[in-house]
Each structure stands twice: as C-alpha cells, then as structure tokens.
A and B are shown apart, each in its own frame.
Chain A
Amino acid sequence: MNARPDSSEFSGARDDGIAKGDTLLEVNNVSLSFGGVKAITDISFDIKKGEIRAIIGPNGAGKTSMLNVINGFYTPQQGTITYRGVPRRAMRTTDAARQGIARTFQNIALFKGMSTLDNIMTGRITLQKRNLFWQGLWAGPAEREEIEHRRAVEAIIDFLEIEHIRKTPVGRLPYGLQKRVELGRALAAEPSLLLLDEPMAGMNLEEKEDMSRFILDVNNQFGTTIALIEHDMGVVMDISDRIVVLDYGRKIGDGNPDEIAKNQDVIDAYLGVPHEG
C-alpha cells in the first residue's frame, strides 16, 4: 500500500520509434516571407533525437519565425519540413501538438486565472482519450483517466520543484516561476520535440541558472529533444549540443559551441559589422 509513486509513472517523452542520435526533424531549403519582407531565406538544418539544439541570432534574425514554421503556425512558401521521416510543408498546429511537438512562448501564454496545477493539466489534453460526454459525466473510465493524468502532472510538479504554488493562480506568480509553469505545461504533453522560445528572457542570474538546470535535467532524465531560442550567449554555449546561427533570415553558422565561438561570420554578426548588400 505504501508504494512510493515516482517519476516512473511519467515517461516524460513519448516513444516515437527514433533512436537517439538519428534525425528527428529536418528543415530543407525553407523560405518564408510576409508580403515583401523575407523573414527566412533558404534555410536548412536538422535536429537529432536527444540533443539540445539552439537557434540563435541578433534581433529580427528570424528565430521565432523558424520556430513557428516548425510547429505549423506559419506555412513556408518554399521548402519542406521532415518530422519523424514524414515530409510536409503545411501542417496545422493541432497536428503538430498531436505528433509530439510542444512549445513555450517568449511572452508567457498561460491561463492567468487558473492554478499551476490546472495549467499543467491542460498540457495533457492531447493525451486524453475519453470524449466530452465521458469527461462531462466524470465517472468510470474518465475518472480513472483523470487520476492517471493527475499523477503525471504531480510528477512534473515534483520535477520542477513547484509544489508550493500548486494551487496558486499563475497570474499571481513572479515571472521566473510563470516561465517554469509554462515549461511544465509543455512537458505534460510528453513531447518528442520541445520548442523553447527564449526560456530565460527577463530572468536574473539565479533564475537563469535554475532554468538551465531544469532544461538539462529534462533532456537528461526524459531524453527529450529540445530546440531553444536564446539571447544569452553564455547560457547557449553552456547547455547546447549544437547551435544554428541566423542573421537577417539566413543561416550563417551551424555546429557545436566551440565551432560557433570561432566562426568569423557569427562574430561579425554579433559585433554588428555592416551587412553586405
């Protein structure tokens, strides 16, 4: 009777049949423009299963657009995205979510009036199997299912060390904690690919260190593949396995942190050397 529930009840990342180190997602010659503005020009890169892949670049380089292309929010005019071996151009965001792509946002997008627990619970929606009728009735299978989901959510709460704010409406939480709750909601979907849009924006040093630790732990414990956009170069260099550098919508570098640190184009872009053409 006293079996300690533990995080084994929460697998963290779904099994997508792709071995660690194989390509999970491939971006091929993608271009995206809004009217006459070219946001992304002919970009190709890949994300391998189990890695932490950073997308960096100065303001307006097209990082968030790239993330929006990956999770189906934008449809590129040219090029293909191959996710889990299936190539596609257009995709609805709900399909992306069902296929195991979860994300967080640069400007926190939580339900402010709902508790931490309920917010994270919403991340389980794509995993819920019972229909509205059963859920409305909240009996039998739906009840059992909810208990299962609640267990998974509690494992996330434990993992992210947010027990003390379980029942607090998130609108009342400080910024750093809201970011953590948002990460929790994304994790609740047990994603194959986790997209983090500036997870450390606006945080102080201590909060950044905590968040870095959580990102590494998620990657380490659940094997979740993570693609993240981040401004803080120190953080990026410390936690990423590989980095893509964008500038004015073009890819100017791709490689591990050491290679990127030595890349002259990247140094120029960050130091603001005038742009040719």
Chain B
Amino acid sequence: MAEHEPMLDTFPKYLLLNAERFAGLPAMRHKDFGIWQSWTWKEQLEQVRTFSIGLQTHGVAHGERVAVVGANRPRLYWAIAALQALGAVPVPVYADAVAEELAYVLDHAGVRLAVVQDQEQVDKILSFSEKIPNLGLIIYDEQRGLADYDHSRLVSFADVQEAGRKAIEDAPDLSVRWEETIRAASGDDVSIMLYTSGTTGRSKGVVITAAAAVQAASDTAAFDKLNEHDSVLAYLPLAWVGDHYLNYAQGYVSGFCVNCPEGPETVAQDLKEIGPTFYFAPPRVFEGLLTMVTIRMEDAGRLKKWIFDKFIGVARKHGEAILEGRPVPLSGRIAYALGRVFVYGPLKNVLGLSKVRTAYTAGEAIGEDLFSFFRSLGINLKQLYGQTEAFLYVTCQEDGAVRADAVGPAAPNVDVRISSDGEVQFKSPGMFKGYYLDDAKTAETLTEDGYVKTGDAGFFDQDGQLRIIDRAKDVGRLKSGALFSPKYVENALKFFPNIKEAVAFGDQRDFCAVFINIDLTAVGNWAERNNISYASYQELAGHPRVYEMIANHVDDTNRKLSKEPMMAGAQIKRFLVLHKELDADDGELTRTQKVRRGFIGDRYGELIEALYDGSPEKFVETEVTYEDGRKGSIRATVKIADAKLYDVPAEAMKEAAE
C-alpha cells in the first residue's frame, strides 16, 4: 500500500524505482502487426533512457518545452518520461487538432522540438512552420510516407534512440549521470503543461509541477487500491488531462500496465482482448455500448431476447444491491447468480469489462438508467468530477456510496467549498501552478485565499455529495423570470439514445428552444427497421418520421421537467433537428466533445431567430472545415417544430419568480 512505499516527487524517480521493484512485470503493451508486444518496467527504463540521452545529444535542456503529438503509442509515453528525466517540459497536443490549432499551441508554448506520431502530424506542422519560428527539429515515430521529405529538420524516434545508445557506448558514465540527474531533480520542476480544450476561446497552458502531480496521483491510486497487477487500456486523447493522469501518472506511481490499442477503430476489440481492471470512459461511450447491445438484442432470436430481458430485469432489481453488499432475498441472489452465467458474464466479456474492478465516468451528466444498467451487471462504475487545473480529481465517489445524480464527496486531501454565489471552488494537492504566460487569467481563476474557481455552479446535498448544475455563467433566466439551465435541459434530452447532442437557448428569451443532433447509429438502425431510406445524414435528420420520433422525446422531456419545481418553467417550446453533426473541426465542439454554446449561437444565429420568430422552416448555408483546413459548405432547409408544454405546479412558479 501507498503509505509503506517511499514517497518520491517526480515520475522519472518512480521509473527508476519500478524498474527495480517490478523489473519483470509488464509496464507497457501495444498491439502492433496483430500481436500484443510487451515491455517490462526494466525494458521500459531502457527505452526511456536511450531516447532521453538521444534527446540530450540534440541539445534538449532543463526547462525547455517540447511538444508531443499523436495517438496513444508507447513511444510517445516514453517521450514524456524521457523529457521529464531531463527536466524538460512535455507539452502534449491533441492529435486531431487542425493544423492552425496545433500551430497556435506550439507557438504559444515556444517549443523548439516536437515528438510526433506520423506523417499526418509532420504535414500539419510543416504547413504552418512560418507561424512557429522557434520550432527546429521534428522527431517522428512512424517512417511511412516520409522517405522523400527534406530530412534536415526530421529525424526518426529510432535514430534518436540509436544516437542515445551510441553516446552511452562512447561514454558509459553518461548513463550513470543520467540517473543521478533524475535522483537530484526537484519536485518543484514543471512536470507537464496541459492545454485545456477551450470551451470558451483559445486554449490555455495549464502548468503542473512534479511533486503536486505525484501527490495527486498517489492519493487516488491509494483510494482505488491500484497496484502493479492492474492494467488499463490507454485510448483517451494523449493530450487530455484524463489520459495523462489516469494512465501515465497513476501508472508510474502504482506500477500498473498501460495497454495501447492498435488504432482508434480497434479499441472495442482491444478492450475485449486486454480486459482492463481499471477503466474510464465518458458517458457517451457507455451510451454507445448500451445502444450497441440494444440494437444487437433486437436482431437476436426470440429465445435469446427472452433470456436477456428476463435477466436484465433481475439485474435491475437486485444487481446494485448485490454490488454494494446490501441485503437481498435468497431468491433474488439465486436468480442473479443464474443471470451471471447466462447473461451478465458473457455480456461483460463481449464489452471487455469482465475484469473491471473500478470504473469511472465523468465530463458530463450520466442518465440514471444508463448508469444503473452497467452497475447492475456488477461493474463498479462510479463518478468523479475533475478539471485540468486540479490535475483531474476534485471529487470522486467511494465504493458503496454511488449515485447517478451526484459526483461524490471531495477526493482525498482535496478541499471543496461552494462560494456565496453558488460556484464550486477547490484547493487540491495536484492543483496547477498557473496558466503559461497568462498571469492575468491565472489571477482571475484563483481566489485571494488560493482556491481555484471552477466556473461550475453546484451544491452539496444531504449526504455530502457534490451536485453540479451547470457552468455558472450559463445559468440564466427566461423573460418570465423562470430559472434556465441549458445543460440541464440538454442532458435530459441526451439521455435518449436517439439524441446525440442538444443545444438549448432561453436566457433573456420568452421560452426555451433547442437544436438537436440525432445519433446516426441509433436513428440509422431505427430507419433500417422501419424501411426508411436515406442517402445522407442531412436527409435522415430532416425526415418527417424522425421529427415525429424526436417530438415524442421532447414531449417526454417536458413532462419530466414539469415535475421539477426549479426547472419547470424552462420547458421546450420549439425545437429543430440540425442538418449537420456538430463537429470539433468546425469549432462547434471542443476536442473533448463539449458543446461550445457561444460559438454555435453565433454560427447559427439565423436558425435561433427562426426558433423565436415562429417561422415553420428556414434555409441555411453552413461552412464546414475539413481536417486539413480546406473549407466547403452545406445547404439545407431546416424545419422547426412546436412542442406541447405541461402545466407547471403553482408553487414552482412562485419559487422561480422569487
């Protein structure tokens, strides 16, 4: 357990320690050429060592910032450790960022060197090279397609390692000195700079120091009893705090094995093969899994479907109680045990969740039904609430005290409070040092007594769990004075599998109106079943039967809202189904797939006006951006539909008007 272990203050120090204490245990796996390749902690140390010393020969120095761009690949994770070993600062950047975003981050961070995955990233960087004057060398992992490039600025990862190997051969004490540098490093050094996904405006570089990062990771690893025999699948974006924290940071302090999938499309298959014991996924992934299971069961034979429905019923009734060790009648236990043999076991195996001991979800609200579906199968799914500025954890739920509508009490050693105007504020071991080159923003984000303002509105409920309502600045009021929380309305809609995304409007308006994005998988499947043919997303989105279906969902949502005193005033009066999917490449979502409400408001201003001026349809032309930066446009006539409002209980009106 963590308390008996030496408390180190940088990740490279853990690398040296793990190479001794877990020498023969796997540290990293990667499925490549169809086979899981694996590296033990000892081998991982050698990989990091040669690359790190190779970087030294290229002049990488203490404090220097180096970009790391790409998918979850062992070599990129090693690059992070290799940089930290030299006291340099890794700056991971989202691999799917368009060239301009990438250039902005590289320039802002002032990187002289970038470690990237492949030709795609090299092309993006080179296309904006005049905007990144400091950038010199680019180190790439995959050779493919780069043979004919000008190699004066390009060098392969393997060549850098080779240079490191040669340098060690020439001067054997280099290796010893390298380890001494690591041991002598200070916990006050910057460990990593994580650029926020930028829900509002440009992304900011969040500076995290080593000792803080290690402290936070050790606390949560101990909280969830993670150890060297655990394993995780690293499939979240490398540049996101979640991936860096959950996989890299926790991996180094607890010694578990990080498994890198073959590619983004093979994640489901790789998950099944690896069977991780610790798993994190945003709610939309769980939603996708449930949608897939539901669709597949609809295609199954009658007997199978009957067995499935029967035992899922049993799980809904007793599953969570059994998971939490609450009393359950014997008959329930027997039925659940049978269900485990016939349904839950095989189902978890197909989903790759058989061995999961702890699973987390965060980032968005999760539907009660969805959440308890997975828990009832015996998966210990919990919620956490976090931020890049906290180096992830602010609150997290303890085993046995889990609910869908709250995110748990403060994480170990974290202090959370609600300010007088309802904003959630925290102080934590892993909290950031500041935004890089932006003291004004840093000062704006910190309170005078050193708490971080999250910008989220929330409150603690009776059992001490935090509940998040919305982004504090998004909470507004309708002209009638009724409280309007866009996220609350959107989440209620998004719990329907057919609705992928929703954007609600209403602040300072007469009523609440929404944009809806259909979920192509779910609605496409429904269309196939109902003999509805369509040629494109746009055509399906505008189909009258789809409008009918969405209208039913909106109606259900309104009925649900009408029963909640605080929210009843903000029922949806008009809605439309958007003709295109909201996309991060067009700036409509952040790279972590969060809605950028302000941007969407500007971009679709005409449609919003049409929602409020009563017109039945509206013609729009929208510009779209491809990943390489080229632009195109799509045109559509979007229909606008009305929804039925439900009576609001009298006391709610009174309360809302106060």
Contacts and interface: CB of A to CB of B under 8 A. Distances in A.
Contact of A221 (B35, B38, B145): B145
Interface string B17-61: 000000000000000111101110001000000000000000000
B147 A163 contact: no
B32 A4 contact: yes
B263 A220 contact: no
B490 interface: no
A158 B265 contact: no
A164 B266 CA distance: 5
Contact of B263 (A150, A154, A163, A221): A163
A154 B39 CA distance: 21
A161 interface: yes
A163 B267 CA distance: 11
A169 to B, nearest CB: 15
A5 B36 CA distance: 11
B525 to A, nearest CB: 15
Given A163-B263, A163-B265, A164-B269, A217 B145 contact: yes
A201 to B, nearest CB: 19
A163 B266 contact: yes
A157 B34 contact: yes
Interface in B139-164: 144-145, 147-148
Contacts of A220: 145, 147-148
Contacts of A151: 33
A177 to B, nearest CB: 11
Interface string A79-98: 00000000000000000000
B507 interface: no
A226 interface: no
Interface string A128-159: 00000000000000000000001100110111
A107 interface: no
B189 interface: no
Contact of B33 (A2, A155, A164, A217): A155
B423 interface: no
B144 A221 contact: yes
Interface string A210-232: 00010011001100000000000
Interface string B186-197: 000000000000
Given A163-B266, A221-B145, A5 B43 contact: no
A157 B33 CA distance: 8
Interface in B407-421: none
B262 interface: yes
A250 interface: no
Contacts of B269: 164
A4 B157 CA distance: 13
A217 B43 CA distance: 33
A208 interface: no
Contacts of B263: 161, 163-164
A5 B35 contact: yes
A166 interface: yes
A158 B266 CA distance: 12
Interface in A157-202: 157-159, 161, 163-164, 166
A216 B144 CA distance: 11
Contact of B32 (A150, A158, A164): A158
Contact of A163 (B38, B43, B145, B262): B262
B147 A166 contact: no
Contacts of B144: 7, 159, 217, 221
Given A158-B32, A220-B147, A2 B37 contact: yes
A205 to B, nearest CB: 9
Size band of the B side of the interface?
A: 10 to 19
B38 A2 contact: yes
Nearest to B33: A154
Interface string A47-77: 0000000000000000000000000000000
Contacts of A154: 33-35
Contacts of A161: 263
Given A158-B32, A161-B263, A4 B145 contact: no
A166 B269 CA distance: 11
Nearest to A217: B145
Interface string A1-44: 01011110000000000000000000000000000000000000
B35 A2 contact: no
B147 A158 contact: no
Nearest to A155: B33
B121 to A, nearest CB: 15
A157 B35 CA distance: 12
Contacts of A221: 144-145, 147
Nearest to B28: A2
Contacts of B147: 220-221
Contacts of B39: 2
B79 to A, nearest CB: 16
B54 to A, nearest CB: 17
Nearest to B266: A164
B261 to A, nearest CB: 9
B34 A166 contact: yes
Contacts of B33: 5-6, 151, 154-155, 157-158
Contacts of A2: 37-39, 43
B366 to A, nearest CB: 27
A5 B266 contact: no
Contacts of B265: 163-164
Contacts of A4: 32, 37
B348 to A, nearest CB: 21
A225 to B, nearest CB: 17
Contacts of B145: 213, 216-217, 220-221
Of B34, B37, B263, most buried by chain A (CB within 10 Å of CB) is B34
A114 to B, nearest CB: 17
A190 B118 CA distance: 24
Nearest to A166: B34
Of A5, A213, A216, most buried by chain B (CB within 10 Å of CB) is A5
Contacts of A150: 34
A155 B34 CA distance: 9
Contacts of B34: 150, 154, 157, 163, 166
User: Which 8 interchain pairs have the tightest Cβ spacing?
Assistant: A164-B265, A154-B33, A154-B34, A163-B262, A164-B266, A5-B33, A217-B145, A163-B266
13 contacts: A2-B37, A2-B38, A2-B39, A2-B43, A6-B33, A150-B34, A154-B34, A155-B33, A157-B33, A158-B32, A159-B144, A164-B265, A220-B147
Interface of B: 32-35, 37-39, 43, 144-145, 147-148, 262-263, 265-266, 269
Given A150-B34, A151-B33, A221-B145, 10 more contacts: A2-B43, A5-B33, A163-B262, A163-B263, A163-B266, A164-B265, A164-B269, A216-B145, A220-B145, A220-B147
